[in-house]
Structure formats: structure tokens, C-alpha cells
Amino acid sequence: MERIKTLSGESDEKILGKIIVSVVMPVYNAQEYLAASLDCLLNQTLKDIEVICVNDGSSDNSLKILEEYRRHDPRVVILSQSNKGAGAARNLGFSQGSGRYVYFFDADDLCAPDLLEKCVNAAEAQEADIVAFNFSRFYPNGNEEQRMGIHDDWLPKGCKVFSWRDCPELIMSVVNPTPWNKLYRADFIQKNQLRFEEISTTNDITFCAVSMAVASRVTFLKDSLFRYRVGHSQTITSRKKKNWANIITAVQSAEKQIKRLPYFEEIVDSLCRFIIENCIFGINYFDGDYKSVSFGEYYNRVRSIFAGEMFSNVSIDTVKNELLVQKFRAIRKNSYEDYLKLAGHKIVISLTSYPKRIKDVAGVLETIFRQSRKADEIVLWLAEEQFPKKENDLPDNLRKLVDQRKMTVRWIAEDLRPHKKYFWALPSYPDDIVITIDDDLIYPSDMIDSLFVSYLIYPRAVSAMRAHLIVINEALEIEPYNNWILETDHCRYRPCMQLLSTNGAGTLFPPGIMRKNELYNSDAIKDTCLNADDLWLKAMQLCENVPVVVAHKYKSLQYVPDSQEEALAHDNMTMCQNDVQLRKITDWVDRKLGDGYFVRKLTLPPQMEDSVQLLGVSAICKMFRAERCREKNERRVLNNRLQRALTAEKELKDVCRRLRKENVALVSNYQKTQNELQKIKKSKRYKLAEYLARLVWFVRRHFKQSKGKLL
């Protein structure tokens, strides 16, 4: 291996035999994985290392394993302490290290064989205090997913070395706040007196975030060099429920250290984001125990922190994360008692389908299973007349999900087309949160979370991932549907009566918000808008004074490949069926409640905080339309590329599937041929033929030899 020069310029000969990297590894009851972790470290391509293993009061065979490795490799150093936690173990290990660099590793994880060599080379080349890199998470079932260790897209373009000056608002969050995806220069840690918090959990986030804030030079590698094991019972993540207060201790320690820096005012937004992220992580992670006394205490402490003066100017502009700001707002708004009332309801996902699309439903639901906030129940409403054999008409992958109890199929007698997704769900789950989705979309992983947080802020509004702004002209008339501001997010996070939620893109209905009997008038639906559930629900929302909130910055819909050959949107928009159906609905509502009722309700401002009223000012509408047109063209291009990529991927998968089948068939035929050949070889006829062939060969050879002698 190529020797590495020191920062002081020492030659290779002078540093020969010196320790370049001290690896510090806390060990606590890790006997199951310890050997694999040690093998990863001791087989590194960089050999000039020491592996300092701090036995943190293990009660299993971990110490014996360490001693066995030390007998075979003198680079293993063993230190012992009573059980004080990983933070104290790392501090002890670092204090005894002699390497120019230090790397903190966990006793149940794995890494690439060239991790240390690559990181040291990068540190030397860039004279860096810290070298960060990407990583992956691997699960007991064998699945593995790649993760970003650094958000290099937050840095100036082309930036290879950075400090707080390059991204002051994000410096404490730009790199994942874990110690195992970074190599540190040892004298940098000593100079800045950096230490891990000596608490049982969450002991690393302060060290990692503060080190980023004080580092003069940070560089990064895009390689994925570390593999984080998920599911080990002794990992920090699995033990956090017992130690909620440690999160508060960790963020307050970080705040105290950052406030001492002379440039604190320049990175205060980054500190705010760091505190908000970690405090909210605690609330999200412990959500299942929200009724416990300890969770109530934690929630109130977080709410008290968020009420501090430092957080008075928190906004999307300062924190740079819309969903995080919405969660911050939800906590500041809701007392613990209010949070209990709102968060105590089940989340029910409701959708419908029909025979031509039913094959896609399992794929759609996979994106629901991967949501960052999980649903409590998933219900698929199907019309009996479309599936006369019921379960036997469903594809195998969907029946499998039913058998695994991941979802429920509810059979209904009446086919109300797209209305089926809400028509029976809302009355069947009156005390639960109902989120409607479609059978042809791939949903972003934060959809449920975004809708839920919006609901916490506006519990008496419908929250939607996608909405259109109904345009009303100066004469107080509704403009044609195609003149509306489609897919608008200009007034997101603000309730508005003029917003029309598109319910298939993900729409949340709070418990009991739509109770009027007229909503469930199937005859009226058939007479007015059988193919336009969004318009019917909008009319019912107006009748109940329920506004709509856009809960997420709009992103182009991602459709399941080949699912749009038959879609209601084509007829509703291109053939102006939306206008026809809307006219029927407004006439029906006006007959019931008085002339002009529909438009009057649209123009009334919602009676709630932060609401917005957008009447038909022509200049504003034109501006919106021009901007939306530009955005829509850009999105259309991107969406077309995405659809082509998805289609190509599907075609490639089909080809691979066909080739696999052909390969299986070829292998099977080959095996059959081999079996038949073996049978033939074992037969008497084959043996006789083989004997005769040998006899003929022997006679010919003997004849040639005899003939040669005669000559």
C-alpha cells in the first residue's frame, strides 16, 4: 500500500511503524456480531492501525472474544469499564489512542475493507479535520438500502472542502450526525475539547454536530463505506424508548457549546434546525406510547424549548425544510392534551379499483407500506358486480396481502366508480382519520406524515397533497375548469374555500368532519357527477364550511407504468366533462339551499387561523396561470422522462423475467436429456452396443498389428 505523508511533511521512512488510525469501538454484549466486526477492521488495506476495544461491562462472551483476537493480533487493545454507555466508552478509548486519526466504530456493524485507506488519503490530500462518507443499512432479512451520509447538494456547486462559512444555515445537519460515517483528525478533537455525552443513549449527536460547526476543513467521499446493522437488540435505536430525556440533554449541551462560538449568530438557524430535528425525532419515534406520563413530560419539555426566543423567527426560509417547520408549528400550537385528542385516532387508508387496474393495486400499496408514518388499516372497496367470484378474481399478490393481514377487502353491492374510495369509508370509520388514495399512483414516502402534520395544525380542514384553485371572475361566476389554477401550491399550509382537493393524490379527512346525510346520496351522485368524486366532495365541504389545505409542495404525479390508457381525467378534462358535471352539482345545491349558494360559499373566508381568500382578480389569475404554465411544462417534461424510464424498467424486467423462464426451461430440458442419457447408458442394449464397439475396435487393431508382422 502507498504510504501516506503526514501533515508536518514527515517522510514515509520516519512514520514507518507509527499508528495512523486509532479505531475506537465500544463493546457491550455484542458476542453475536463482534467477530465479524473485528474481522472487517483487522483486514483493512491500511495496516498501520490500532483497534481499541472498550468493554463496557459486557455480561456475555464479548470479553473472551476480544482476548482471543488480541492473542492473534497485537493491534487489538482492550480496555474495560463498568457499564457507562457508548459515550463514556468512546471518550475512554480516544484518550488512550495514539493515531493521527481516529475512527469510531460500533461492535455490531460492518465496513468496506478500504474504508480507512480511502479516508486517510482524502484527509491528507485535503488537509481535512473530518472526512465524511455514505453508508447503507442492512436488515436481518437480507435487504439493504443505501443512505446519504452527506447532503452535498446543500453545498456550493463543485465544493470539495467546506466549513460553516459555506453553509452556515445547515452546517450542523449537512452530515448525518453519527460518528461511524466520519474519520476525524485526532488533534482537531483535542484542540476543540470535543467529547461524547456520557449518557446511555443519544450520546453521539452533540459530538457530531458541534464538530461540524467548529471544523475548518471538511471533505467527503461519495463511496458507501459503512454498513449499519438494523435489528440488533442492543443497538442504540432499539433502547431509546427508555431514555427520552437524553435527547433534551444532548441538544441543550449542543446549544451551550455553539453559543460560545464567536460566529454563533451566523449559524443560529442551523442550531435551531438541529434542535427541532432531534426533538421531533423523539416525538415521532415514541409516538406509540403517547399516553404515558413520561411521553407527556417529554412533549411538554420540547414545547417549552420551542417557545424560546431563539425559535421566534423559525420559518421555511430559515430552517430550509417545509415538513420540519410544519411539525414545529404543530407542537407549538397544540398542548399535550390537544395532541392526545388529535393523535389518538387511527389512520385508515381507503381506495378502490376495478378489473382493468386491480393488477396494479399491490404495487401501489407497497409505496404505502414504505411510508415514514404508518397507517393503522388499509381498506380496498370493490364492487361485487365487477368481481363476481370475489377473492378468486383478485391477483395472487393482492390475495397474499390479505392473507398476511396487511390490508382488508370490503365488498359492496353498488358501483359508484371513483366515489367508492370515500362513500363507505367515511361513515364506516366516523371516529378515525381517513386518507383516500388512487389505484394508479406511486406515493412519496412522506405523504401520510405530511397530511397528518397538516391535520394537527388544521383539524377542521381537509388536508390534500394536490389541489386546484377554483377561479371566480369579477362577475362572481366560476370560470371553466381548464381556466382554474391547476395543481397550485401558492397558498399551501393556509386553509382556503376555493381549493379543490384531488382526492386520489392523497387527501386526509379528519374524524367526523363530513357527517351530512346528503354526502351519501347515491342517486344525486349518479344524476350529477358519477365520474367526478372531487367535485361532489367539494360541494359537500362547502355545505359544511370545511376548507382545504395544501399540505405539501406539489410534485408531479408518478403513475404506475401503463396505467393511464383508461383514466377518468382524460374525459373529464379534454372533453370538458368537469364543467358539465360541476354545472349539474351547482344546480342541485342551489335548488336545495338557494340560488347562488355554491358561489357564495366559495367566496366566504374560512373562519380559522392563517386562512386565505383568493377571489377572481384577473391580474392575479393571469399571473398564476402564466407561472403554472411554465411550471407545468417543466413538470411535463420531467414526468415524461420519468414515465419513459419506468416503462423501460418494466420492459427490462419483463425481458429478464422471460429470460429467466427460458433459462429454467433450458435447464429443465438439459436435465431431462441427461436423465434420459443416463437411463440409456444403464440399459442392456447400450451396454451390448458398447461391448460390440470395443470388440470391433480390438479386432481391427489386432488385424492391423498382425498384417504389419506379416509384411
Per-residue confidence band for 634, with pLDDT thresholds at 50, 70 and 90: low
Inside any domain, residue 3: no
The reply to whether 680 falls in a domain is: no
Same domain, 99 and 157: yes
The pTM assigned to this predicted structure is 0.80
Residues 180 and 275 in one domain: no
Average pLDDT of span 527-535: 94
DSSP run (H or E) holding 222: strand 218-229
* pLDDT tens, position by position, 670-706: 778 877 888 887 788 877 887 787 787 777 777 766 6
Are 485 and 545 within one domain?
yes
Does residue 323 lie within any of the structural domains? yes
Q: Is 158 in the same domain as 57?
A: yes
Range of the domain at 45: 12-243
- Per-position DSSP letters for 355-391, written without gaps between them: TTTGGGHHHHHHHHHT-SS--SEEEEEEETTT-TTGG
Shared domain for 68 and 180, answered yes or no, is: yes
Name 71's Cβ contacts closer than 8 Å, sequence gap at least 6. Answer: none
pLDDT mean across residues, the chain: 86
Max Cα–Cα distance, the chain, nearest Å: 129
Chain segment 170-210, per-residue pLDDT in tens: 999 999 999 999 999 999 999 999 999 998 888 899 999 99
For the ranges 240-244, 426-430, 524-528, 600-604, the lowest mean pLDDT is seen at 240-244
Q: pLDDT at position 336, please?
A: 94
Looking at the fold, whether 154 and 194 belong to one and the same domain comes out as: yes
pLDDT at residue 650, as a whole number: 66
Same domain membership, residue 143 and residue 154: yes
What's residue 429's pLDDT? 95
pLDDT value at position 413?
92
Per-residue pLDDT tens over the stretch 595-624:
888 888 888 776 666 656 554 444 445 555
Q: How confident is the model at residue 643 (pLDDT cuts 50, 70, 90)?
A: low
Scanning the structure block, which residue is given the C-alpha cell 377561479? 471
Choose the final residue of a domain: 598, 616, 634.
Answer: 616
Buried b (16+ CB within 10 A) or exposed e, 462-473: bbbbbbbbbbbe
Q: Report the pLDDT averaged over residues 552-578.
A: 68
Residue 12 is predicted with a pLDDT of: 37
457 lies in the same domain as 500 = yes
Residue 637 within a domain: no
- Dump pLDDT digits (tens) for 61-102: 999 999 999 999 999 999 999 999 999 999 999 999 999 999
**Same domain, residue pair 222 and 297:** no
Q: What gap in Å lies between CA 247 and CA 294, rounded to an integer?
A: 13
Average pLDDT over residues 524-546: 93
**678 occurs within a structural domain:** no
pLDDT confidence of residue 640: 64
Q: How confident is the model over 3-27, as pLDDT tens digits?
A: 333 333 343 333 335 899 999 999 9
Which residue in this structure is represented by grid cell 390537544?
338
- Quick one: pLDDT band at residue 235, thresholds 50, 70, 90? very low
Q: What pLDDT does 16 receive? A: 39
- Domain closes at, from 552, 585, 616: 616
The number of beta carbons lying within 10 Å of the beta carbon of residue 146 is 10
pLDDT at residue number 239: 44
Residue 356's pLDDT is 92
Examine residue 267 and state whether it is found in any structural domain, yes or no. Answer: yes
Give residue 243's identity as a one-letter amino acid code. Answer: N
Per-residue confidence (pLDDT) for residue 171, from 0 to 100: 96
pLDDT value at position 417?
94
Position 639 in a domain: no
Asked if residue 382 is part of any domain, the answer here is yes
206 lies in the same domain as 76 = yes
105 burial level (CB within 10 Å; 0-12, 13-18, 19+): buried
| pLDDT at residue 603, as a whole number | 80
**pLDDT at residue 699 in the model:** 79
pLDDT of residue 288: 55
275 and 413 fall within a common domain: no
At residue 152, does pLDDT exceed 80? yes
Domain-ending residue, one of 310, 344, 378: 344
The string of pLDDT tens digits covering residues 319-372 is 999 999 999 999 999 999 999 999 989 999 999 999 999 999 999 999 999 999
Regarding whether 568 and 435 lie in a shared domain, the answer is: yes
- Is residue 240's pLDDT more than 80? no
Give 66: exposed, middle or buried? Use CB within 10 Å, 0-12, 13-18, 19+.
buried
CATH classification of the domain holding 361: 3.90.550.10
Tally the domains of the chain.
3
